[in-house]
Amino acid sequence: MYFKHTRILIAALTLVFALLFIGSTHAQKIPLDTVVHTGTLANGFTYYIRNNNEPKNRVFLYLVNKVGSILEDDDQRGLAHFMEHMNFNGTTHFPKNELISYLQKSGVRFGADLNAYTSFDETVYQLPIPADDPVILKNGFQIMRDWAQDATLDSVEIDKERGVVLEEQRLGRGAQERMQRIYFPVIFNQSQYAMRLPIGTVDIIKYSPYSAIRRFHSDWYRPDLQALVVVGDIDLAKTEILIKQLFSDLKKPMNEKFRTQFKVGLAGGNHFLSLTDPEMPQIVMQIIVKHKEELLVTEPDYIASVRRQLFNIMVGQRFADLSQMPNLPFVEAGANIDEFLGGLDAFTFEIALKKDKIDSGFLTAWEAIEKNQTLWIHSLRNGKSQTKLPEQFGVFLQRKR
């Protein structure tokens, strides 16, 4: 097993060194995969099509909306997520609950196959369907078209869905959620993100007028903020024709609102926060080191991304090895470099500590990070050395009161 892992690591490092040689002479943009067929319609709607015959006779459709809770007005907090729900409760071609009923009869399972999610910056709908039935295939694309702009937003259906969303809110409550509402403003540096958690507020979900969600839908569900991703066992030419037929008539709103790119600023200093809650079952410490987002556009960017992946893999392996130690002085720990929010990436270290071994537990886990410090330093595209923790170092200690 050790030999196998060593060979994988050597192969990965060989790739890195080869890419370093390439990237040192040319900072060229990485081209789009030639097997992906893409285009943009006159109304701004974008599509990506890729043929992939595994699994056989299957196609996966994704409607990607550059729309999330960050775009909500003060009287709409939670309505981006609510809007996601409403797209399953009535569209032009599938009134009320006919959409789910139709798909279930076609062999598509709600939740397991058919699904969607709403985050701060995006809302994505996914629909895997059979590709060998022309009627189901065409209707699948019609469903995507309806989701793009043709939700009926019936008043009765809106009222019915309020309880569903409130129950989802209720299930998410607890110690972690209460503490997040306190430390999110700190890690988001008092930005708009701190005030726009996707789950929203109880009062707005309960009492918001129908006009509020309809306004959100008309403002933001528009073709220039949408893309269709099609991957599966399909004919590229026929698929493109169908997309043009169905999506070319999508309309932009008359008074188009500007889609602001919200950012999380770097405050220029360290932040430390200790939180307690009577329901917190253990002591947890998080260290977050924020830095400017590392874009993936050029060959050198790709090299840097490989370094970050290697760092994450090796640190993960170190913690896996540590977990096998007898008398481990902490409960569990992990670390990685990943996307954050608002134009930032972050290194995040999290550890669950034992009450009587806080110092030794932290130091033991942190040593695993330091053993990969060189790779961490050079994983950043700018190549600047970080021999000390940067200024955007935040420690969040969570424990039982």
Q: What is the DSSP string of 89-146?
A: S-BSSS-TTHHHHHHHHTTPPBTTTBEEEE-SS-EEEEEEEESS-HHHHHHHHHHHHH
Going by pLDDT thresholds of 50, 70 and 90, the confidence category of residue 26 is: low
Q: How confident is the model at residue 28 (pLDDT cuts 50, 70, 90)?
A: confident
pLDDT, residue 15, reads 43
Distance between CA atoms of residues 293 and 383, nearest Å: 14
Residues with Cβ within 8 Å of 389's Cβ and at least 6 positions away in sequence, in order, are 270, 289
Task: Give the pLDDT of residue 379.
Answer: 57
Q: What is the domain partition of the chain in residue ranges?
A: 2-25+264-400, 36-247
Q: Is the dihedral of CA 158, 163, 168, 169 positive or negative?
A: positive
Q: Which residue has the higher pLDDT, 298 or 384?
A: 298
Beta carbons of 101 and 64 less than 8 angstroms apart: no
User: What is the band of 123 on the pLDDT scale with cuts at 50, 70, 90?
Assistant: very high
Phi, psi of 21 (to 5 degrees): -65, -45
Which structure tokens are listed for 309? 């992946």
Q: What order do you get walking across the sheet with 393-400 strand by strand? A: 271-277, 393-400, 283-292, 344-353, 330-339
**pTM of whole model > 0.95?**
no
Amino acid at 126: Q
Q: Is the Cα torsion angle 100, 140, 158, 73 positive or negative in sign?
A: positive
Cα end-to-end distance, the chain, whole Å: 44
More confidently predicted of 245 and 172 = 245
Q: Which of 48, 85, 67 has the alpha carbon at shortest distance from 227?
A: 48
Q: What is the mean pLDDT of residues 38-48?
A: 97
pLDDT at 380 over 60: no
pLDDT attached to residue 105: 80
**pLDDT, position 320:** 93
Question: Which pLDDT band, with edges at 50, 70 and 90, does 109 fall under?
Answer: confident
Q: Which two tokens stand for residue 229?
A: 């991703």
More confident residue, 69 or 6: 69
Q: Which two tokens stand for residue 170?
A: 């209720």
Confirm whether 2-25+264-400 and 36-247 share one CATH topology. Answer: yes
Report, as an integer, the average pLDDT of 383-392: 44
Contact 61, 128 (CB under 8 A): yes
> How many Å separate Cα 351 from the centre of its chain?
23
240 belongs to the catalytic site: no
7 — pLDDT class (breaks 50, 70, 90): very low
CA angle 197/187/82 to nearest 5° reads 5
46 or 279: which leads in pLDDT: 46
Decide if domain 36-247 falls under CATH 1.20.1640.10: no
Query: Which residue in 84, 157, 294, 299 is the catalytic one?
Result: 84
pLDDT digits (tens, 9 = 90+) for 289-308: 999 999 999 999 999 899 89
pLDDT in tens, 191-238: 999 999 999 999 999 999 999 999 999 999 999 999 999 999 999 999
Determine the residue type at 197: L
Average the pLDDT over 325-354 and give the result: 94
Spell out a b/e string for 1-38, using b for 16 or more CB atoms within 10 Å of the CB, else e.
eeeeeeeeeeeeeeeeeebeeebeeeeeeeeeeeeebe
Say how far apart CA 390 and CA 384 lie, in whole Å: 11
Other C-beta atoms closer than 10 Å to the C-beta of 304 total: 22
CA distance 1 to 7: 10
DSSP H helical ranges for 290-348: 299-322
Q: 235 phi and psi, to 5 degrees? A: -90, 120
CATH topology of domain 2-25+264-400: Cytochrome Bc1 Complex; Chain A, domain 1 (3.30.830)
pLDDT at 397: 60
- Predicted local distance difference test score (pLDDT) of residue 373: 65
The pLDDT, as a whole number, for residue 271 is: 87
